[in-house]
């Protein structure tokens, strides 16, 4: 039996939280086999070779065979090694974003809040903050208003009030519970494009009644994708099924409405004015009562119109609101004559006899609004889209149908972003004159720009803006062939946003600082983050400043974007915070370098997995196509890293060797900037480059001769053969200096005799 149990226990997993589960199972095994006194021996005998070697490394300089090294100390050491370090501000952000989910009970909501609060280190403020977030995150607006109206309130009292309200709602509205309303009220309006606008009912603020014919439907509603009960459309396994009746994707033939949809005749929309008695058509009304309607999921809300109350059918497919003539007459409101025809999905027509201009309609116990209401004969009272948004009865969501080409498109939303950034405006700046028109595009690029705009709009990365104060033209950047998205849209923020904001004083790490974090590395890994800026949401005020102008209109970004002067530093600060306590790891923007000094690929990959887990917890996605994992040599920021040192990139060296002589001062400045970036490989750089810098002095005319050519060629040849050793804090450091009438040079080295040069520098 013991052998069987040991076999099932298996080797120790070297990742979290699997290792925590392993120890729990091991403790049960020790108790079942009565081997608690031999716990250390059983652990080390069954954990596997990799785990055994790791334990030996972690407990050094202690000897693993000594009695002082106990089972408990090994367990604590391993768990501390693998357990990710808590990100305090991230956990607090999650806590303050916690709200009650649809159909979630008060008890479960409170449990989630308390569980998340335990990770936030709030101390004595814990109860008060849980109470505040409990009130803020409640799904019921009425309950929230009731709790806010109380002067003093304790957490337990608020929870009891919520439980009591929940129990009353369950007892009084059992056939039509709030969850049932939300489930049954979800549907999608057919559209010709791939994106659909889905609508789901909010918890009603008035008296909501089910006016379905026949028996009550109980607690479940039929799915509008397959027609079966017990689940919603969003959870249906036939969402990508193709209808055999109409050929469209998204539903089965049993629920297809193609016959009704084919009968629609779309008329031009128009809005009447007082006194207009001409006869014309509205666009259409989708839910005028028909003799044989197949819909039984009709939901009504109780409203007050003038002196009377009426149950009105909430219909998001109707562009207008209609009441029967009996209700209109009893309301006491003034009727104006008008002659119009309303057409439904099936082609059924209803004649409108009059209209009430600016009629005030109030939901019982809820909001009120004033719009035109049409009066028809023998028709259902329909609450249309001219009233619904103002009365706050429904919630509008974007349901996106993803094609096969974009199945890997990440769905990113503000509430799921782990980081939020905001821009700080300069004092005294004016936004006047910063709304620029869209630039003309080549015809060959226009369709690609339109496709990318639709993709960004459907994924929630951008949203449409009307009459913005600030708008920048776009700069389309064509990507290499073979990529799924061949174009990137960047705003030319040099004309707008970059003139308005202050750039943080945070700085990028220097190459020597990055090398100091990975000294004497034997194995390297470079991870490239994919669409990393999309994990940094912008505050609403900052979103308005990112507006772009296109031939399709104005759009603003919800997330950090390329081209914004403050964006790189904001993202660098975030990455430094995320990887602050991870050893042998550094980052430069979205490129992460990992270098371990041990000559062990297994130990290197353990650290790589730890970094990947940290990035995944923060919402980042790794671009495997651009990443380099567990290699002896990698390319990083234009250099080659191997054997703990930094070398010039041979691919770039070939380009530098073919670099032509500059023909003016601008070309010379560009070339010197390139040389300066790699100047760490060049001894006496300033002295060699002195003839070149002489040409850049003010008042000196351009004159290129043999002296300049010799200096230019010498810089190219020296940089191509240079090697820089990574700085190691455990080794002694030597400073060698020299000076002349032309400049000052210095060398930092660990061992000058063996040419272990750490840095070269010079000043002219």
210: part of which helix (H) or strand (E)? strand 208-210
Within 10 Å of residue 675's Cβ, how many Cβ atoms?
Answer: 22
Which residues, other chains included, contact 449 with Cβ-Cβ below 8 Å and sequence gap of 6+?
441, 474, 476, 487, 489, 550, 551
Q: Is the pLDDT of residue 305 over 70?
A: yes
**CB contact burial 749-758 (16+ within 10 A = b; e otherwise):** bbeeeeebbb
Q: Are residues 677 and 569 in the same domain?
A: no
Nearest to 21 by CA among 90, 85, 75, 72: 75
How far is C-alpha 15 from the geometric centre of its chain's CA atoms? 26
Domain with 588 in it: what CATH number? 3.30.70.270
Q: Are residues 129 and 52 in the same domain?
A: no
Distance CA 189, CA 398 (A): 11
Percent of residues in the chain assigned helix, strand, coil, to nearest 5? 35, 25, 40
Lowest mean pLDDT among 285-294, 304-313, 527-536, 609-618: 285-294
Domain with 759 in it: what CATH number? 3.30.70
Give yes or no for a contact between 560 and 570, defined as CB atoms under 8 angstroms apart: yes
Q: What domain range includes position 375?
A: 300-383
Overall pTM surpassing 0.75 (yes/no): no
Q: Are residues 121 and 98 in the same domain?
A: yes
Is residue 261 in a domain? Answer: no
Q: Are residues 636 and 672 in the same domain?
A: no
Distance CA 378, CA 293 (A): 16
Angle between helices 2-9 and 18-32 (to 10 degrees): 170
Domain boundary among the residues 82, 105, 121 is at 82
Give yes or no for a contact between 218 and 175, defined as CB atoms under 8 angstroms apart: yes
Residue 130's pLDDT is what? 92
Is residue 252 in a domain? Answer: no
Q: Is the pLDDT of residue 116 over 60?
A: yes
Is residue 702 in a domain? Answer: yes
Q: Give the pLDDT band of residue 92 (cuts 50, 70, 90).
A: confident
How far is C-alpha 64 from the geometric centre of its chain's CA atoms? 46
The 8-class DSSP code of residue 148 comes to: H
Q: What is the mean pLDDT of the chain?
A: 75
Q: Is the pLDDT of residue 757 over 60?
A: no
Residue 548's pLDDT is what? 93
Q: Are residues 695 and 637 in the same domain?
A: no
Q: Token digits for 321?
A: 């609101």
Is residue 194 in a domain? Answer: no
Residue 586's pLDDT is what? 93
How far is C-alpha 451 from the geometric centre of its chain's CA atoms? 21
Lowest mean pLDDT among 110-124, 163-177, 269-283: 269-283
Q: Are residues 635 and 650 in the same domain?
A: no
Q: Give the pLDDT band of residue 682 (cuts 50, 70, 90).
A: low
The fraction of the chain above a pLDDT of 70, given in percent, is 72
Domain boundary among the residues 82, 97, 116 is at 82
Domain with 136 in it: what CATH number? 1.10.1200
Q: Are residues 635 and 659 in the same domain?
A: no
Q: Are residues 626 and 681 in the same domain?
A: no
How far is C-alpha 684 from the geometric centre of its chain's CA atoms? 48
How far is C-alpha 311 from the geometric centre of its chain's CA atoms? 42
Q: Are residues 96 and 68 in the same domain?
A: no
Is residue 617 in a domain? Answer: yes
Q: Rg for the chain (alpha carbons), in Å?
A: 35
Residue 309, CA atoms < 13 Å, CB-side half-sphere = 9
Q: Are residues 23 and 102 in the same domain?
A: no
Q: Is the pLDDT of residue 584 over 90?
A: yes
What DSSP line would sit under 167-183, residue for residue? Answer: HHHHHHSSTT-HHHHHH
Q: What is the pLDDT of residues 156-190, one digit of tens each?
A: 889 988 888 887 776 654 433 333 333 333 333 33
User: Residues 225, 226, 232, 237: is their CA dihedral positive or negative?
Assistant: negative
Lowest mean pLDDT among 9-18, 244-253, 408-417: 408-417
Name which residue leads in pLDDT, 208 or 715: 715
Is residue 660 in a domain? Answer: yes
Residue 404's pLDDT is what? 34
Residue 671: strand, helix, or coil: helix
Q: Are residues 47 and 155 in the same domain?
A: no
Q: Give the pLDDT band of residue 501 (cuts 50, 70, 90).
A: confident
Give yes or no for a contact between 593 and 607, defined as CB atoms under 8 angstroms apart: no
Residue 677's pLDDT is what? 66
User: How many domains, the chain?
Assistant: 5
Is residue 42 in a domain? Answer: yes
Domain with 311 in it: what CATH number? 2.40.70.10
Q: What is the pLDDT of residues 193-233, one digit of tens each?
A: 333 333 333 433 444 444 434 334 444 457 777 777 767 66
Distance CA 126, CA 143 (A): 22
Is residue 97 in a domain? Answer: yes
Nearest to 371 by CA among 337, 332, 323: 323
Mean pLDDT of 413-439: 73
Q: Are residues 566 and 486 in the same domain?
A: yes
Give yes or no for a contact between 742 and 702, defined as CB atoms under 8 angstroms apart: no
Mean pLDDT of 333-359: 72
Domain boundary among the residues 617, 642, 667 is at 642
Within 10 Å of residue 462's Cβ, how many Cβ atoms?
Answer: 24
372: part of which helix (H) or strand (E)? strand 368-376
Distance CA 240, CA 307 (A): 49
What DSSP line would sit under 687-713, residue for residue? Answer: HHTHHHHHHTSTTPPP---HHHHHHHH
Q: Is the pLDDT of residue 283 over 50?
A: no
User: Residues 285, 291, 297, 303: is their CA dihedral positive or negative?
Assistant: positive
Q: How far is CA 87 from CA 16, 122, 133, 528, 614, in A?
A: 16, 14, 20, 22, 10
The fraction of the chain above a pLDDT of 90, given in percent, is 9
Distance CA 97, CA 115 (A): 14
What DSSP line would sit under 417-466, residue for residue? Answer: -SEEE--EEPTT---TT-BPPPPP--HHHHHHHHHHHHHHHHTTSEEEES
Q: What is the pLDDT of residues 360-394, one digit of tens each?
A: 898 887 788 888 898 887 778 888 888 888 887 76
One-letter-per-residue 3-state SS of 607-647 = HHHHHHHHHHHCCCEECCCCCEEEECEEEECCEEEECCEEE
Give yes or no for a contact between 287 and 300, defined as CB atoms under 8 angstroms apart: no
Name which residue leads in pLDDT, 613 or 654: 613
Lowest mean pLDDT among 11-25, 270-284, 470-484, 685-699: 270-284
Distance CA 399, CA 401 (A): 7
Residue 51: strand, helix, or coil: helix
């Amino acid at each position: 039996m013991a052998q069987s149990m040991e076999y099932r226990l298996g080797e120790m997993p070297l990742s979290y939280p699997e290792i925590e589960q392993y120890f729990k199972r091991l403790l049960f095994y020790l108790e079942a086999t009565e081997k608690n006194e031999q716990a250390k021996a059983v652990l080390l005998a069954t954990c596997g070779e990799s785990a055994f070697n790791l334990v030996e490394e972690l407990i050094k300089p202690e000897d693993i065979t000594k009695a002082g090294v106990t089972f408990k100390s090994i367990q604590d050491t391993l768990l501390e090694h693998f357990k990710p370090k808590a990100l305090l501000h991230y956990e607090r952000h999650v806590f303050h974003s916690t709200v009650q989910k649809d159909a979630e009970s008060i008890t479960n909501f409170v449990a989630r809040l308390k569980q998340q609060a335990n990770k936030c280190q709030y101390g004595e403020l814990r109860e008060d903050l849980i109470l505040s977030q409990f009130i803020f995150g409640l799904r019921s607006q009425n309950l929230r208003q009731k709790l806010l109206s109380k002067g003093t309130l304790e957490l337990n009292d608020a929870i009891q009030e919520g439980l009591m309200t929940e129990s009353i709602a369950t007892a009084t509205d059992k056939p039509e519970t709030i969850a049932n309303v939300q489930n049954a009220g979800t549907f999608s309006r057919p559209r010709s494009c791939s994106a659909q606008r889905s609508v789901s009912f909010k918890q009603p603020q008035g008296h909501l009644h089910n006016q379905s014919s026949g028996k009550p439907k109980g607690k479940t509603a039929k799915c509008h994708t397959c027609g079966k009960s017990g689940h919603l459309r969003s959870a249906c396994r036939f969402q990508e099924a193709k209808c055999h009746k109409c050929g469209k994707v998204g539903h089965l033939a049993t629920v297809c409405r193609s016959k009704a949809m084919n009968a629609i005749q779309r008329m031009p929309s128009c809005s009447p004015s007082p006194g207009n008695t001409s006869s014309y058509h509205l666009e259409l009304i989708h839910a005028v009562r028909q003799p044989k309607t197949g819909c039984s999921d009709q939901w009504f809300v109780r409203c007050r119109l003038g002196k009377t109350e009426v149950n009105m059918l909430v219909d998001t497919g109707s562009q207008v609101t209609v009441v029967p003539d009996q209700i209109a007459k009893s309301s006491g409101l003034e009727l104006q004559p008008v002659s119009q025809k309303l057409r439904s999905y099936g082609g059924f027509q209803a004649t409108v006899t009059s209209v009430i201009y600016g009629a005030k309609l109030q939901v019982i116990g809820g909001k009120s609004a004033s719009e035109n209401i049409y009066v028809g004969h023998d028709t259902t009272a329909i609450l249309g889209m001219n009233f619904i948004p103002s009365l706050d009865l429904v919630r509008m969501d974007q349901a996106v149908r993803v094609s096969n080409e974009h199945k890997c498109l990440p769905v990113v939303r503000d509430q799921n972003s782990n980081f939020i950034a905001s821009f700080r405006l300069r004092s005294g700046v004016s936004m006047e004159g910063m709304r620029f028109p869209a630039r003309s595009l080549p015809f060959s690029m226009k369709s690609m720009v339109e496709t990318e705009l639709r993709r960004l709009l459907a994924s929630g990365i951008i949203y449409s803006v009307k009459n913005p104060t600030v708008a920048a033209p776009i700069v389309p950047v064509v990507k290499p062939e073979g990529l799924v998205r061949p174009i990137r849209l960047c705003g030319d923020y040099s004309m707008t946003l970059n003139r308005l904001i202050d750039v943080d004083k945070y700085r990028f790490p220097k190459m020597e600082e990055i090398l100091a974090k990975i000294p004497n590395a034997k194995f390297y890994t470079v991870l490239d983050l994919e669409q990393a800026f999309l994990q940094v949401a912008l505050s609403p005020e900052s979103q308005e400043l990112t507006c772009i102008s296109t031939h399709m209109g104005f759009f603003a970004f919800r997330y950090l974007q390329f081209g914004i002067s403050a964006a790189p530093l904001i993202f660098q600060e975030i990455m430094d915070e995320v990887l602050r306590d991870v050893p042998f790891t550094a980052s430069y923007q979205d490129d992460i370098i990992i270098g371990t000094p041990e000559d062990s690929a297994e130990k290197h990959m353990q650290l790589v997995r730890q970094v990947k887990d940290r990035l995944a917890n923060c919402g980042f996605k790794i671009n495997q196509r651009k990443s380099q994992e567990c290699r002896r040599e990698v390319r990083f920021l234009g250099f080659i890293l191997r054997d703990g040192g930094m070398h010039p990139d041979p691919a770039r060296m070939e380009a530098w060797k073919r670099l032509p002589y500059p023909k003016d001062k601008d070309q010379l400045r560009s070339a010197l900037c390139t040389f300066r970036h790699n100047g760490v490989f060049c001894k006496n750089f300033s002295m060699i480059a002195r003839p070149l810098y002489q040409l850049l002095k003010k008042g000196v005319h351009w004159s290129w001769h043999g002296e300049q050519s010799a200096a230019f060629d010498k810089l190219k040849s020296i940089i191509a053969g240079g090697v820089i050793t990574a700085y190691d804090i455990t080794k002694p450091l030597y400073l060698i200096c020299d000076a002349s009438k032309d400049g000052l040079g210095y060398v930092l080295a660990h061992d000058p005799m063996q040419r272990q040069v750490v840095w070269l520098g010079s000043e002219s």
